[in-house]
Chain A
C-alpha cells in the first residue's frame, strides 16, 4: 500500500504542477458552470428565461394599450422599451440585430369591439403582425400561444363587463335589423341567440363568475406548472445547481485525459522502465495510477461543490448520496483514463484519442446539448455515455431528491462502465508491456 500511495502522490504532484492540465481540470469547468449558470438564470434569481419582444402600438386605443400592458405583464415575456420611439422600423432593427426575438405590431383600427364574431368592428382591419427572428423558430409557436392567450384574456375581460356586453349585444341586434340581403331565417336565429345572450348578461350576476378572476371564469387559470421532483420543495434553488453537475463531469474529463497522458509520458520518457524494475508489481503500479486519478477526481468534485455551495448558494440536498455519486463518477473516469492511456504510443496520440473518445461522450451525454433538447433516437444513444449517468447521479444528490434506491441505477452503471474500461486498459497495457 505504501508503494501505491507513493505513486499516487507523485501523480498528484505532477498534475498540480501542470498549469495546462489545471486549466482544463479546474478553470474550464468553473467557467462553464458560471457562464451557463448565469445564462440560464435570467435577470432574477431562479427565473426562467424570458422571450424578449418589442411592442409597436400603432392603434393608440384603450384596447391596444391594454393588450400591450398584458403582454408586458406576462411572466414569459420581457417587453423592451425602444428609447428611439416605437416605430415599426426601429422594432425591425431590434429584431434584425438580435436584441429581441420578435416584434408585435398592433395595427391602426385594433380594438373598438372585441366582438367581431357578432359582426362588429372593421372588417378590413389589419391583423396583429408578429415579426420574428428566423433563427428563433423554437419561440415562434410559444409566442403565438402567448399572444392568443393574452388576446383571449381581453375578450374575457370585456364579456365580464355587464354594461359593455349589453351595449355590444344591442348594437349587434341593431346591425342585424339593418342588414340588407340577410336571409330571414338566419336573421331570426341570430337575433334569438343574441336576445338570449342579452337576457343572460342582464340576469346572471357576472360578479359571481368574476370572483375567481377572469381567468378562472374562462378556465385558463386551471392550468398551473410545477417542477417535478421527488421531495417537496426540492427544486433547483438556482441555475448553478443544474450547471455544476455538468461542470464536474467536464472537470473529471480533464483529469482522465491529463492522467492518461502522464501514463504514456512515463513510457516515452523512460520512467516507466524504472518503475518496472522497482520492487513493485504491475498491479501495484496500475493501482497507484488508479488511486491518483480517483483522488484527483474527488479533489475536483470537492473543489467545485464547495465553491458552488459557498459562493453561489448551491444546496446539496443529500450529502452522503453526493459522496456516493462522486465516488461512482470517480471510478468511472478512472476506468476511462486507463483505456485512453493505452490508445496511443505517444503523448499527442493519446491526447488526440482522449478527446476523440471523450467529446462524443460529452456530446451525446448532455455535456454540450441538454438531454431534453435531443431527438428521441439521440436520447437513447445518450444511455451509453457516462456523462449522462454522471450528471444524473450528481443532480440526484444535489436537487432531484433521489433516495438510495434511485441512485443505484446511475451509480451502478457508472461503476460498471469504469470497471469495463479499466479492465480493457489493463489488458492492453499488459500486452504492450510484454
Chain B
C-alpha cells in the first residue's frame, strides 16, 4: 500500500505540488490525471522517492523511507523521458538495470530474456537502442522498469508519442502486469487508457487533488448526463413539444436515460436517419473539473 500525506514541493515561487494526499491499495491501478503542469510528474517522483518533498510524507507498505533499498527493490519506474542508453543495445540496457537491482547468474539471464520478449525486441537484442523507433524505445523503457519484478510500477505517460500498434502492445503488457498483482501508479493524457486500466483515478490541477474516486463514481458525480442527438427523415407532428433542443431536422436531448428517450421518440412516429449517443466519460469529467482554458 502506498500512502502519501500532504505532499508539498516548490521550485522557487512555483508550488508544483500543494498538499496532495493519496492512498493506493496493494494491487490497485491508480491513475493520476491532470493538464500539463498540474503536478502529476512531481507527485509521481515523490511517491517513487526520486525527489524529496518539502513537506509531507510517503510510505510504501508501511516503510516511510523510500530511499531504503528494500523499498527501492520493490519499485520500478518508467519515466516520461526515454530513460534508456541509446549507445547500449536492448540487451545491455536490460542487463545494466537488472544488475543495479542485484540480479545475477541465471536469474539475470532469465529476466533479461523476459524483458526482451516483453518489449518485443528479442530479434533486435543486439541493436543499439538509438536505432530503434519511438515505439520500440518506449517498450524498452517499460521493460527496463520491470526487469527486476517490482511490486509497484510507476508509469509516467508510458504510451505518449507512439504509433497505435506499439501503444496497443504497451497497453496490453501493462494490463498483464496489473493482472499479475503489481500495484500501478499511472499518469496519462489518454483518458480512454485511464478509464480502461485504472481502478481509481485522481484528477490533479495546480498541485492539488480535485477529485479522487473510481472511474464510474467520478463519471456519475461530474460527468453530467448522456446526450442523444437524432437527425430525422420524418419529423414528428408535435416536434415543438419534444424534449431538448430542436433545430429543423435535428434533436439534441440531455438525459440520464438515453435508451428510454429513444424509445419515446419512436412512440411519437419519428423516423431517424442518424443517431448519436454520447455517454459521459472521463474526458468530460476531466474538462468539467479542470476547465477548457489552454495550459500551454
Give the distance in Å from the alpha carbon of A432 to the alpha carbon of B92 in the complex: 29
Residues of B within 8 A of A376 (CB): none
Known: A273-B50, A277-B49, A434-B51. A10 touches B77 (CB 8 A): no
Q: Is B235 an interface residue (CB 8 A)?
A: no
A133 to chain B, nearest CB (A): 50
B9 to chain A, nearest CB (A): 8
Select one of B80, B83, B102, B144 contacting A279, CB under 8 A. B102
Select one of B49, B51, B73, B82 contacting A270, CB under 8 A. B82
Select one of A10, A268, A434 contacting B88, CB under 8 A. A10
A1 to chain B, nearest CB (A): 12
Q: Is B85 an interface residue (CB 8 A)?
A: yes
B204 to chain A, nearest CB (A): 19
Select one of B51, B83, B88 contacting A13, CB under 8 A. B88
Residues of A within 8 A of B145 (CB): 274
Task: Please report which residues of chain A, range 116-166, place their CB below 8 angstroms from some CB of chain B when the two chains form the complex.
Answer: none
Give the distance in Å from the alpha carbon of A2 to the alpha carbon of B79 in the complex: 25
A272 to chain B, nearest CB (A): 8
- Once the chains bind, are A279 and B50 in contact (CB under 8 Å)? no
Q: Is A17 an interface residue (CB 8 A)?
A: yes
Residues of B within 8 A of A278 (CB): 72, 97, 100-101
User: How many residues of A sit at the interface, in one of the four size bands?
Assistant: 20 to 34
- Once the chains bind, are B75 and A277 in contact (CB under 8 Å)? yes
Give the distance in Å from the alpha carbon of A14 to the alpha carbon of B88 in the complex: 7
Give the distance in Å from the alpha carbon of A275 to the alpha carbon of B81 in the complex: 13
- Once the chains bind, are A13 and B82 in contact (CB under 8 Å)? no
User: How many residues of B sit at the interface, in one of the four size bands?
Assistant: 20 to 34
Residues of A within 8 A of B144 (CB): 274
A interface secondary structure, majority: helix
Residue from the set B82, B84, B92, B99 with the largest chain A CB neighbour count within 10 Å: B99
Known: A13-B87, A271-B84, A434-B52. A6 touches B96 (CB 8 A): yes
Q: Is A97 an interface residue (CB 8 A)?
A: no
B111 to chain A, nearest CB (A): 15
B102 to chain A, nearest CB (A): 7
Residue from the set A18, A279, A280, A434 with the largest chain B CB neighbour count within 10 Å: A279
Give the distance in Å from the alpha carbon of A304 to the alpha carbon of B77 in the complex: 42
Q: Is B69 an interface residue (CB 8 A)?
A: yes
- Once the chains bind, are B50 and A277 in contact (CB under 8 Å)? yes
B173 to chain A, nearest CB (A): 18
Give the distance in Å from the alpha carbon of A268 to the alpha carbon of B84 in the complex: 11
Give the distance in Å from the alpha carbon of A92 to the alpha carbon of B52 in the complex: 76
Q: Is B45 an interface residue (CB 8 A)?
A: yes
Task: Please report which residues of chain A, range 245-300, place their CB below 8 angstroms from some CB of chain B when the two chains form the complex.
Answer: 268-271, 273-281
Give the distance in Å from the alpha carbon of A281 to the alpha carbon of B72 in the complex: 10
Q: Is A3 an interface residue (CB 8 A)?
A: yes
A339 to chain B, nearest CB (A): 23
- Once the chains bind, are A279 and B69 in contact (CB under 8 Å)? yes
- Once the chains bind, are A14 and B85 in contact (CB under 8 Å)? yes
- Once the chains bind, are B50 and A3 in contact (CB under 8 Å)? no
Give the distance in Å from the alpha carbon of A348 to the alpha carbon of B256 in the complex: 57
Per-residue CB contact flags for chain A residues 404-434 toward chain B (1 = under 8 Å, else 0) read 0000000000000000000000000000011
Task: Please report which residues of chain A, range 358-400, place their CB below 8 angstroms from some CB of chain B when the two chains form the complex.
Answer: none
Residue from the set A3, A10, A281 with the largest chain B CB neighbour count within 10 Å: A10
Task: Please report which residues of chain B, range 129-183, place their CB below 8 angstroms from some CB of chain A when the two chains form the complex.
Answer: 144-145
Known: A10-B88, A14-B87, A434-B51. A273 touches B77 (CB 8 A): yes
Q: Is B209 an interface residue (CB 8 A)?
A: no
- Once the chains bind, are B92 and A13 in contact (CB under 8 Å)? yes
- Once the chains bind, are A273 and B102 in contact (CB under 8 Å)? no
- Once the chains bind, are A270 and B79 in contact (CB under 8 Å)? yes
Known: A10-B96, A275-B100, A276-B50. A270 touches B81 (CB 8 A): yes
Q: Is B48 an interface residue (CB 8 A)?
A: yes
Known: A13-B92, A274-B79, A274-B144. A279 touches B100 (CB 8 A): yes
User: Which residues of A come within 8 Å of B, CB atoms?
Assistant: 2-3, 6-7, 10, 13-14, 17-18, 268-271, 273-281, 433-434
Other 19 A-B pairs with CB < 8 A, given A10-B85, A13-B92: A3-B100, A10-B88, A14-B87, A18-B87, A268-B81, A269-B82, A271-B83, A271-B85, A273-B81, A273-B83, A274-B83, A274-B144, A274-B145, A275-B100, A277-B75, A277-B77, A278-B72, A433-B51, A434-B52
